[in-house]
Amino acid sequence: MKHKPFVIVVSAPSGTGKTTVLNYLKTLDNNLFYSVSATSRAKRPGEVDGRDYIFVSRQKFERWIEQGELLEWAEVYGEYYGTPRKPVRDALSRGMDIIMDLDVQGKRSLEREFKDDLVSIFLLPPDLAVLKQRLISRGAEDEEKLKLRLALAESELRWAYEYEYWVINDDVEKAANRILSIINAERMRQKRVIYKDLKK
């Protein structure tokens, strides 16, 4: 079946395991383009330019902002993060669907840009207790840092109401397959299907 390509945004509260799920999704057979964010922050050990982020200087990032080269961008703790427009547009014109890992602000910007061509998915922890456990097991943090992280995660959980789909991450493989089901279903929406014997 042929369809008009679209953009999928996946968001999640901290500690939900979004990166692991999206990495597993990459191993499943599909025609998805994984958008890579650009950032002005320094590369950390183990990170690969073009895979984890596109690492650019502050000057270059600011030029991109001025020239409208970014689909969305934000400054977080003094560093820039954003989505370059060109790779996304190029992949769409090659008929690929795009998947993006963004927070709620990024998702809102993308909605303004893509409107009906945006599908939003919110990944949820099995429940809040599990999320708390995951945050605790991430490392020996001091008490106050941990409390702040828990409060942040609970607040981020409320973004869920802005998203079309909710996927629970009780199991990485299941969660990735659920996202794939949503993408496959969205490819079959009437407005997207290309069928030569019915004009639109």
Q: Rounded distance, CA 62 to CA 57, Å?
A: 9
For residue 159, the 8-state DSSP code is G
Q: Rounded distance, CA 179 to CA 182, Å?
A: 5
Among 30-38, 56-64, 138-146, 192-200, the segment contacting a second copy (CB under 8 A): 192-200
Any contact of residue 74 with a second copy (CB under 8 A)? no
If the CB atoms of residues 141 and 164 are measured against a second copy, the closer one turns out to be 164
Strand partners, 166: 122
Query: Least CB distance from residue 24 to a second copy, whole Å?
Result: 17
If the CB atoms of residues 77 and 161 are measured against a second copy, the closer one turns out to be 161
Q: Find the length of the chain.
A: 200
Any contact of residue 122 with a second copy (CB under 8 A)? yes
Contact letters for a second copy, residues 76-115 (x by CB under 8 A): ----------------------------------------
Is 12 among the annotated ligand-binding positions?
A: yes
Any contact of residue 150 with a second copy (CB under 8 A)? no
For residue 31, the 8-state DSSP code is -
**Contact pick of 128, 146, 150, 172 for a second copy (by CB under 8 A):** 128
Query: Least CB distance from residue 106 to a second copy, whole Å?
Result: 19
Is 20 among the annotated ligand-binding positions?
A: no
| Max Cα-Cα span within the chain | 64
- Which residues in 146-170 are b (16+ Cβ under 10 Å) and which e? beebbeebeebbebeeebebebebe
Closest CA to 171 of 125, 133, 134: 125
Q: According to CB under 8 A, which residues from 152 to 171 bind a second copy?
A: 157-158, 160-161, 163-168, 170
DSSP for 114-131 reads: HGGGEEEEEEE-S-HHHH
Instruction: Tell me which residues touch a second copy (CB under 8 A).
Output: 1, 122, 124, 127-128, 157-158, 160-161, 163-168, 170, 178, 181-182, 184-186, 188-190, 193, 195-198
